[in-house]
A and B are shown apart, each in its own frame.
Chain A
Amino acid sequence: MDTHKLIKISSITKKLLIGLFGAFLLVFLLFHMCANLLILLHDGGKAYGAFCHFMGSDFVKIFEIILFACFILHAVLAVWVWFLNKRNRPVGYHKPSRTKTAKGSKLAIVSGSLLLLCLVFHFYDFFFVKINFVEGTYMVKTEEFMNNSPTLEVSEEAQMVFLNLINDGKASDDMLWIRQISAEDKAVLQEAFPEAEFEPDFYTIAHQKFSVWHIVLCYLVFFFLVGLHIRHGFESAFQTFGLNHYKYSRLIEVLGIIYCWVICLGFAIVPIGVFFGL
């Protein structure tokens, strides 16, 4: 086989790859949705904070890289296929098509592109805080302050900030964590305790963001787009992998609808719940 043929990926292989990466993203969405539900627990962010702490570990970072690779490859391949497909009908029809079809598929490229746009804003709200691209609210383990050498001189300013945080009740009940540290306070504390590892306090960030009605509305639109996209994706993945059978295709379709609703409602309940203080 010459190189030309190797580079040229068959149309079915391209579809298979899109489906494979998409299937991984589908599983990720379920995981993400389940984790989000922890925000609704009335425990002052204890469970969700612990989860976020786990997500910051090196082990998870590997999955993060795989996840981003999947996202990028899924999108790049889909846009490539869309672009190639555009060329296959140079002269279009005068009358628009009146064929009854799966709507989600026709809208997949539109909903997908809009999703990418929404993702940028979603990243601005959350992920960019994690990679220190955007300032947010932080949390830190109390023990981090204990680890510093006793000879270290702690500035008065840092002591004030620390005491204020404790007095304002920002420490968790078991005194393990201090939360809701603003970016300015973090900067002061970081200077005093250079070895202390601050983590983004996503629980507080979520509560801050979701108390604004237009952000809640934007996220609901975002989840609707997610739903629209996976309504096509779930069933489509089975078809692409050849897992379509006259006996089970109806079952797969029903499962797809259930999955779509579970994801949509599971995601939507968090901003709604936080906004209305449920």
Chain B
Amino acid sequence: MNFTLHIWRQENAKAKGSFETYKVSDISPDCSFLEMLDILNEQLINDHIAHPVCFDNDCREGICGMCGLYINGRPHGNDDGVTTCQLHMRKFKDGDEIWIEPWRAKAFPVIRDLVVDRSAFDKIIQAGGYVSVTTGGVPDANAIPIPKRFADMAMDAAECIGCGACVAACKNASAMLFVGAKVSHLALLPQGQVEATERVKKMVCRMDELGFGSCTNTYACEAECPKQIKRQNIARLNREWICQIFGGNKRPE
């Protein structure tokens, strides 16, 4: 398969970027998107055309959340429930023009080419997305009773890999799905409930400070999340926030 790639090139965070056009040929349909970029980079190096294109990646099996490219108007490309590394070239047509852009958000500044700084997510987690436990002996499994349904919902929320596709897809660059998932997976479990009130306050305030937008219920985040985190997590975040305002300790699931 042959493709024409329009890739955002930007020397560094301060430089003015622009799109560059490259052609790649003889790409196997079974090739993943990142492997296709590897082939391009090899070409660029061997033929002394340009610096290789920088892009984030790590596990390449869709679980680490490092990779993330805005491909033809969709974060992680034209496939549902996958990260960029799990997107395959068979999803494209031979001879397609592919536009590749970095995540665009005030909170995610471009570092170089397609690499963005997502440490804003880490800062939100540092604000309260944890459980303060005194370390000690490992408790017995099932020592704390948790209903199966709650455990399942917590697990679904905990699937979030923090790739930032929700922010990239959102027209307001809002991080509500990310924060919603992170608040949810702790709020649903007994261990997380002790600090739940403080957590939601700190994480939401930090999110606002870092320059993420506010949610307008467009659900682009839900549509593009590679882990298919549901909008119900945002509703739960709103619920937790209301509980926080009114200072109650009772939080419905």
For chain A, the count of residues having a C-beta within 8 Å of the partner chain is 43
Complex: how many Å from CA A94 to CA B114? 14
**Given contact pairs A89-B173, A98-B72, A81 touches B238 in the complex (Cβ within 8 A):** no
Complex: how many Å from CA A101 to CA B208? 23
Across-interface contacts of A87 in B (CB, < 8 A): 106, 211
Q: Mark out the residues of chain B between 102 and 152 whose CB falls within 8 Å of any chain A CB in the assembled complex.
A: 104-107, 110
Picked from A15, A93, A105, the residue with its CB within 8 Å of the CB of B73 is A93
Report the minimum CB–CB distance from B177 to chain A (whole Å).
Answer: 12
Q: Closest A residue to B217 by CB, please name it.
A: A236
Report the minimum CB–CB distance from B7 to chain A (whole Å).
Answer: 11
Across-interface contacts of B238 in A (CB, < 8 A): 12, 15-16, 239-242
Complex: how many Å from CA A243 to CA B73? 31
Across-interface contacts of B212 in A (CB, < 8 A): 88
- Chain A residues with a Cβ under 8 A of chain B: 8, 10-16, 81, 84-85, 87-102, 105-106, 108, 232, 235-236, 238-246, 249
Instruction: Assess the B70–A101 pair: CB atoms within 8 A.
Output: no
Q: Closest A residue to B242 by CB, please name it.
A: A242
Instruction: Assess the B231–A239 pair: CB atoms within 8 A.
Output: yes
**Given contact pairs A10-B208, A16-B238, A98 touches B215 in the complex (Cβ within 8 A):** no
Q: Mark B202-224, 1 if CB is under 8 A from A, else 0.
A: 00110110011111111110011
Across-interface contacts of A245 in B (CB, < 8 A): 232, 235
Instruction: Assess the B217–A102 pair: CB atoms within 8 A.
Output: yes
**Given contact pairs A12-B237, A239-B234, A246-B232, A97 touches B169 in the complex (Cβ within 8 A):** yes
**Given contact pairs A11-B204, A106-B171, A84 touches B213 in the complex (Cβ within 8 A):** yes
Instruction: Assess the B207–A11 pair: CB atoms within 8 A.
Output: yes
Could you list some 11 contacts between A and B, CB below 8 A? A11-B213, A15-B216, A87-B106, A88-B211, A89-B105, A93-B101, A97-B73, A97-B169, A97-B220, A242-B242, A244-B232
Q: Closest B residue to A92 by CB, please name it.
A: B104
Complex: how many Å from CA A242 to CA B104? 28
Complex: how many Å from CA A220 to CA B79? 40
Q: Please tell me if B59 contacts chain A, counting CB pairs below 8 Å.
A: no
Q: Closest B residue to A78 by CB, please name it.
A: B216
Complex: how many Å from CA A90 to CA B106? 6
Across-interface contacts of A99 in B (CB, < 8 A): 73-75, 169, 220, 223-224
**Given contact pairs A10-B208, A95-B99, A240-B238, A85 touches B216 in the complex (Cβ within 8 A):** yes
Q: Is the contact region of chain B dominated by helix, strand, or loop, or is it mixed?
A: mixed
For chain B, the count of residues having a C-beta within 8 Å of the partner chain is 50
Instruction: Assess the A249–B232 pair: CB atoms within 8 A.
Output: yes
Report the minimum CB–CB distance from A56 to chain B (whole Å).
Answer: 38
Instruction: Assess the B19–A94 pair: CB atoms within 8 A.
Output: yes
Instruction: Assess the A105–B216 pair: CB atoms within 8 A.
Output: yes
**Given contact pairs A11-B207, A87-B106, A88-B106, A97 touches B74 in the complex (Cβ within 8 A):** yes
Instruction: Assess the B70–A95 pair: CB atoms within 8 A.
Output: yes
**Given contact pairs A11-B204, A11-B207, A95-B99, A105 touches B242 in the complex (Cβ within 8 A):** no
**Given contact pairs A94-B19, A240-B238, A12 touches B72 in the complex (Cβ within 8 A):** no
Complex: how many Å from CA A238 to CA B242? 13
Most buried by B among A14, A85, A98: A85
Q: Please tell me if B236 contacts chain A, counting CB pairs below 8 Å.
A: yes
Q: A85-B214, A101-B220 are in contact. List 9 more A-B contacts (CB 8 A).
A: A10-B208, A13-B245, A15-B215, A81-B214, A88-B106, A99-B223, A105-B219, A239-B235, A241-B239
Q: Please tell me if B230 contacts chain A, counting CB pairs below 8 Å.
A: yes
Instruction: Assess the A95–B72 pair: CB atoms within 8 A.
Output: yes
Across-interface contacts of A11 in B (CB, < 8 A): 174, 204, 207-208, 213-215
Complex: how many Å from CA A11 to CA B107? 15
Instruction: Assess the B218–A105 pair: CB atoms within 8 A.
Output: yes
Instruction: Assess the B217–A232 pair: CB atoms within 8 A.
Output: yes
Most buried by A among B8, B105, B208: B208
Instruction: Assess the A10–B204 pair: CB atoms within 8 A.
Output: yes
Q: Please tell me if B249 contacts chain A, counting CB pairs below 8 Å.
A: no
Instruction: Assess the B101–A88 pair: CB atoms within 8 A.
Output: no
Most buried by B among A16, A89, A93, A249: A89
Q: Please tell me if B172 contacts chain A, counting CB pairs below 8 Å.
A: yes
Across-interface contacts of A106 in B (CB, < 8 A): 171, 218
Q: Please tell me if B92 contacts chain A, counting CB pairs below 8 Å.
A: no
Across-interface contacts of A246 in B (CB, < 8 A): 230, 232
Q: Closest B residue to A240 by CB, please name it.
A: B238
Most buried by B among A14, A97, A246: A97
Complex: how many Å from CA A85 to CA B174? 8
The 4 closest A-B pairs by CB, nearest first: A242-B239, A244-B235, A11-B214, A85-B172
Q: Please tell me if B55 contacts chain A, counting CB pairs below 8 Å.
A: no
Picked from B213, B220, B223, B230, the residue with its CB within 8 Å of the CB of A85 is B213
